Amino acid sequence: MDFLRNHAAKIAIAVVTLFVVLLLGEQLMVNRSRRMNTDSAPSETASQASNTGANNTAPPPPQETIPTYTVEVLRTIPHNTGAFTQGLAFDNGDLYESTGQYGSSSLRKLDPQSGKVLKKALVDAAYFAEGMVVVGGKAYQLTWQGGIGFIYDVQSFRQLRTFSYFGEGWGLTFDGEHLIMSDGTSNLRILDRDSLLIRRMLTVTDNGIPVKNLNELEVVKGEIWANVWQTDSIARINPQTGKVVGWIDCAGLLTPEERTNADVLNGIAYDTKRDVLLLTGKNWSKMFEVRVKIKEKM
Residue 186 · residue 211 · CB < 8 Å: yes
Q: What is the pLDDT of residues 123-134, one digit of tens each?
A: 999 999 999 999
With 0-12 / 13-18 / 19 or more C-beta atoms within 10 angstroms meaning exposed / middle / buried, residue 180 is buried
pLDDT at 51: 43
pLDDT at 56: 56
Residue 6 pLDDT more than 70?
no
Q: What is the pLDDT of residues 168-188, one digit of tens each?
A: 999 999 999 999 999 999 999
What is the pLDDT averaged over residues 201-214? 96
Residue 137 · residue 153 · CB < 8 Å: yes
What is the pLDDT averaged over residues 8-23? 47
Beta strands in 13-101 (DSSP E): 68-78, 85-91, 94-99
pLDDT at 64: 77
What is the pLDDT confidence band of residue 297, given thresholds at 50, 70 and 90? low
What is the pLDDT averaged over residues 73-87? 96
Q: Give the angle 101-106-107 at the CA atoms, nearest 5°.
A: 140
Q: For the residues of 143-189, what is the DSSP string, one character each?
A: ESSSSEEEEEETTT--EEEEEE-SS----EEE-SSEEEEE-SSSEEE
High-pLDDT (> 70) share of the chain, %? 78
Task: Give Cα separations from 90 to 110, 112, 173, 229 (angstroms).
Answer: 10, 9, 11, 21
